[in-house]
C-alpha cells in the first residue's frame, strides 16, 4: 500500500522491523491456519435459519450457564477436588464477556486497590480508590486516585479534548497537606488513559492475572463467595510467580492468585494475590471493582477537573515540568553515583550535565540512574554519555566492534553509516551492571581514547 497515498508523517524502518520481529516471535506463519475453524463455523451456521440459530444459541447458553452453576455448587462441596473443566468454562465465559466491546458512551469504573509490592507486613500497604471515566468516542478521560486512609489525592490524569492534565512528578506524598499540583498542557494527546493502565509492569493487574489463568491447566474453581455488598462471585485460583520487591531486590516467588468473576455476568470484578513469607500468608495486592457502568453518551463529566478541591492547576504550555534539568557535577554525584563522566573536560570542550526532574522506578530498584553528560566544542563536535538501562545487555550481536577499557568498561560500537558517516556510537557495559549510551561526532579512535578517561562521578 505504498503507491498513490504518500504518507506525510514519518515512517520508521526501525519500528517496522521491530514490529515485524515482535509479531513473528509469536505468530508463526506455519502454525496459522484459520480455515478449518472458519469452515466449521460456516458449515454449522449456514443450514440454520435465523430463528433456529437464535434458539440454539439460547439453549446453548442456558445449558452452559446451568453446567457452570452446577459445577460451581459441586465445587463448594468438594473443595479442592474440583475439576478443571468448570474453571475453564468460567474462564471461557469471562473471556467472551471481555470481547464484547461497548462502542460508545462513557465508561465509568471505580476500583479499590490494595498494593503491597514490597511485601511488607499485613496492612502496611496502601489502599487506594481509583475513579476512571473514559469517553469511548472522543478518548477524553479522567483518572483520580485517592488514598483511602487520608482521602487525599495521590494521582490525577485527564484529557479534556484540548488539554492534558497530569500530576506526574508531584505524586507520591499522600500524607502531605500541600495541594496536589496538576500540570495543564494544551493539545497534548492522552498518553495515560484508563484503557492503557492494564499493562503495568507489576504483573498484578486483573487482566494480566486472568490471561495467565487462561493458560494455566491447573487453575481451580475454589468456590463461590458472597461479598458484603451482596455480589456473588466465582473464585478461581491458581499458582503464579509474583513479582515483588523484597529488600530492594526484585523477586518472583510463587504466589496464590485468586480472580473473581460475577456469577451473573461473568465479568472480572477483582483479584487477590498472596505469597508465603516467613511461614505466613502475606497479602501482596487486591483489586475490587466497586462501580462498572457505561453512562450515556454526552453525560456530564468534569474532564477539565474543575470539580476537584485542594489541587493547584498550573498551566504548562510547553510541558516544561518534564524537561530535563541542567545540574552540576556535584549534584549529579549526590543524586546518581552510578553516573560516568570523563575525568577531565577535554580542551576546547564544555560540559553540560542534565537529569530528569522526576526519576522513575527502574528495573533493579536501585534508585534513579538517568542522566546525560554532553561535552561540546565550538565547532559543534560532541561526545555524549547517558544512562541507557540499569541492567546488562543481553544481546550484543549487532555490535561491529567491541572495545574494553583498562577499567573494564566495554563499548559495543554500532555501525550506522547510513545516517551520518561521522557518527560514532554504541552502548557501554559497565562493571556495575548498568548500560550507557555513547554517541559522538568524533572518530572511533578518539572515542576509544575518551572511553579510557571515563570514571564514576565523585
Partner 1 sequence: MTVKIPSLEEKSAIARLKQGDLDGLEALVKRHQVRAVSAAYLIVRDPKLAEDIVQEAFLRAAEKIDQFDESRPFGPWFLRSVINASTKVVRKQKRFIPLDGTRDEETTKVADWLIDPDPHPEQIVETQETRQMVWEALGELTAGQRAVIVMRHFLEMSEAEMTEELDRPLTTVRWRLKAARNQLRRLLHFFWKSEYQEAQDER
Nearer to partner 1, 171 or 237 (CB): 171
Shortest Å, Cβ 43 to partner 1: 9
| Cβ neighbours of residue 252 closer than 8 Å, sequence gap 6 or more | 241, 242, 243, 244
Under rule CB under 8 A, residue 105 binds partner 1 = no
Under rule CB under 8 A, residue 42 binds partner 1 = yes
Nearer to partner 1, 82 or 372 (CB): 372
Site stretch for partner 1 (CB under 8 A), options 70-78, 114-122, 300-308, 402-410: 114-122
User: Which member of 389, 409, 424, 434 binds partner 1 (CB under 8 A)?
Assistant: 389
Site stretch for partner 1 (CB under 8 A), options 111-119, 222-230, 400-408, 446-454: 111-119
Shortest Å, Cβ 120 to partner 1: 13
| Sequence-distant contacts of 402-409: CB under 8 A, at least 24 apart | 403/448, 403/451, 405/451, 405/452, 405/454, 406/452, 407/431, 407/452, 407/454, 407/455, 409/340, 409/451, 409/454
| Interior angle at CA 411, CA 409 and CA 417, nearest 5 | 165
Nearer to partner 1, 152 or 285 (CB): 285
User: Which member of 296, 418, 421, 445 binds partner 1 (CB under 8 A)?
Assistant: 418
Nearer to partner 1, 151 or 200 (CB): 200
CA nearest 294: which of 112, 134, 93, 97?
A: 134
Cα separation of 151 and 145, whole Å? 9
Under rule CB under 8 A, residue 259 binds partner 1 = no
User: Which member of 49, 50, 101, 217 binds partner 1 (CB under 8 A)?
Assistant: 101
> Which position has the grid cell 494544551?
186
User: Which member of 65, 74, 76, 136 binds partner 1 (CB under 8 A)?
Assistant: 136
φ, ψ at 202 (rounded to 5°): -65, -25
Nearer to partner 1, 309 or 418 (CB): 418
Under rule CB under 8 A, residue 429 binds partner 1 = no
Residues in 214-253 at the binding interface with partner 1, rule: CB under 8 A: none
| Residue 83 in grid coordinates | 475439576
What Cα–Cα distance (Å) separates residue 315 from each residue in 164, 180, 310, 318?
Answer: 10, 14, 16, 9
User: Which member of 20, 239, 264, 401 binds partner 1 (CB under 8 A)?
Assistant: 20
Helices (DSSP H) in 234-328: which residue ranges? Answer: none
User: Which member of 54, 58, 62, 198 binds partner 1 (CB under 8 A)?
Assistant: 198
Under rule CB under 8 A, residue 177 binds partner 1 = no
Mark 53-92 with x for binding to partner 1 (rule: CB under 8 A) and - for no binding.
----------------------------------------
User: Which member of 65, 197, 295, 351 binds partner 1 (CB under 8 A)?
Assistant: 197
Cα separation of 8 and 18, whole Å? 21
Mark 392-411 with x for binding to partner 1 (rule: CB under 8 A) and - for no binding.
-xxxx-x-------------
Residues in 322-351 at the binding interface with partner 1, rule: CB under 8 A: 322-324
Shortest Å, Cβ 74 to partner 1: 28
The neighbour count for residue 42, using CB atoms within 10 Å, is 9
* DSSP states of 97-166: HHHS---SSEEEEEEEEEE-TT--STT-SEEEEEEEEEETTT--EEEEEEETTT--EEEEEEE-SSEEEE
CB 142 within 8 A of CB 161: no
SS3 31: helix
Under rule CB under 8 A, residue 421 binds partner 1 = no
CB 154 within 8 A of CB 174: yes
Under rule CB under 8 A, residue 378 binds partner 1 = no
Nearer to partner 1, 310 or 319 (CB): 319
> Which position has the grid cell 504483573?
203
Site stretch for partner 1 (CB under 8 A), options 55-63, 80-88, 126-134, 175-183: 126-134
Strand-pair category, 180-186 with 311-315: parallel
Cα separation of 348 and 377, whole Å? 6
Under rule CB under 8 A, residue 124 binds partner 1 = no
Nearer to partner 1, 268 or 341 (CB): 268
Under rule CB under 8 A, residue 13 binds partner 1 = yes
Cα separation of 311 and 302, whole Å? 14
Amino acid at each position: 500500500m505504498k503507491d498513490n497515498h504518500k504518507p506525510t508523517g514519518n515512517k520508521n524502518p526501525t519500528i517496522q522491523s521491530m514490529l515485524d520481529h515482535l509479531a513473528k516471535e509469536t505468530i508463526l506463519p506455519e502454525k496459522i491456519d484459520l480455515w478449518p475453524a472458519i469452515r466449521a463455523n460456516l458449515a454449522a451456521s449456514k443450514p440454520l435459519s435465523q430463528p433456529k440459530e437464535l434458539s440454539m444459541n439460547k439453549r446453548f447458553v442456558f445449558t452452559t450457564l446451568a453446567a457452570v452453576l452446577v459445577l460451581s455448587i459441586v465445587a463448594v462441596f468438594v473443595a479442592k477436588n474440583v475439576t478443571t473443566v468448570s474453571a475453564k468454562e468460567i474462564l471461557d465465559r469471562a473471556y467472551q464477556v471481555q470481547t464484547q466491546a461497548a462502542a460508545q458512551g462513557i465508561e465509568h469504573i471505580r476500583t479499590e486497590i490494595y498494593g503491597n509490592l514490597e511485601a511488607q507486613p499485613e496492612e502496611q500497604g496502601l489502599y487506594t480508590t481509583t475513579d476512571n471515566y473514559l469517553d469511548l468516542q472522543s478518548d477524553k478521560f479522567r483518572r483520580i486516585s485517592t488514598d483511602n486512609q487520608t482521602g487525599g489525592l495521590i494521582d490525577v490524569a485527564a484529557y479534556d479534548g484540548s488539554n492534558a492534565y497530569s500530576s506526574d512528578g508531584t505524586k507520591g506524598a499522600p500524607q502531605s497537606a500541600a495541594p496536589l499540583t496538576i500540570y495543564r498542557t494544551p493539545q497534548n494527546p492522552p498518553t495515560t488513559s484508563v484503557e492503557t493502565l492494564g499493562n503495568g509492569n507489576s504483573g498484578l493487574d486483573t487482566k494480566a492475572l486472568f490471561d495467565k489463568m487462561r493458560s494455566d491447566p491447573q487453575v481451580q474453581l475454589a468456590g463461590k463467595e458472597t461479598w458484603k455488598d451482596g455480589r456473588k462471585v466465582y473464585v478461581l485460583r491458581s499458582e503464579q510467580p509474583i513479582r515483588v520487591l523484597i529488600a530492594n531486590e526484585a523477586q518472583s516467588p510463587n504466589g496464590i492468585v485468586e480472580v473473581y468473576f460475577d456469577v451473573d455476568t461473568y465479568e472480572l470484578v477483582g483479584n487477590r494475590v498472596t505469597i508465603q513469607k516467613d511461614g505466613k500468608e502475606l497479602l501482596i495486592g487486591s483489586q475490587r471493582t466497586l462501580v462498572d457502568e457505561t453512562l450515556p453518551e454526552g453525560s456530564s463529566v468534569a474532564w477539565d477537573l474543575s470539580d476537584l478541591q485542594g489541587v493547584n492547576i498550573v498551566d504548562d504550555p510547553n510541558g516544561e515540568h518534564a524537561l530535563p534539568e541542567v545540574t552540576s557535577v556535584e549534584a549529579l554525584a549526590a543524586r546518581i553515583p552510578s553516573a560516568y563522566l570523563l575525568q577531565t573536560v577535554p580542551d576546547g570542550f564544555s560540559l553540560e550535565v542534565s537529569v530528569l526532574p522526576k526519576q522513575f522506578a527502574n528495573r533493579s530498584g536501585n534508585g534513579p540512574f538517568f542522566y546525560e553528560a554532553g561535552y561540546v566544542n565550538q565547532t559543534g563536535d560532541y561526545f555524549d554519555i547517558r544512562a541507557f538501562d540499569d541492567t546488562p545487555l543481553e544481546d550484543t550481536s549487532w555490535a561491529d566492534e567491541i572495545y574494553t577499557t583498562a577499567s573494564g568498561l566495554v563499548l559495543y560500537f554500532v555501525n550506522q553509516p547510513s545516517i551520518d558517516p561521522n557518527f560514532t556510537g554504541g552502548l557501554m557495559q559497565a562493571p556495575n551492571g548498568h548500560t550507557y549510551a555513547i554517541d559522538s561526532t568524533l572518530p572511533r579512535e578518539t572515542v576509544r581514547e575518551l572511553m579510557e578517561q571515563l570514571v564514576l562521578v565523585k
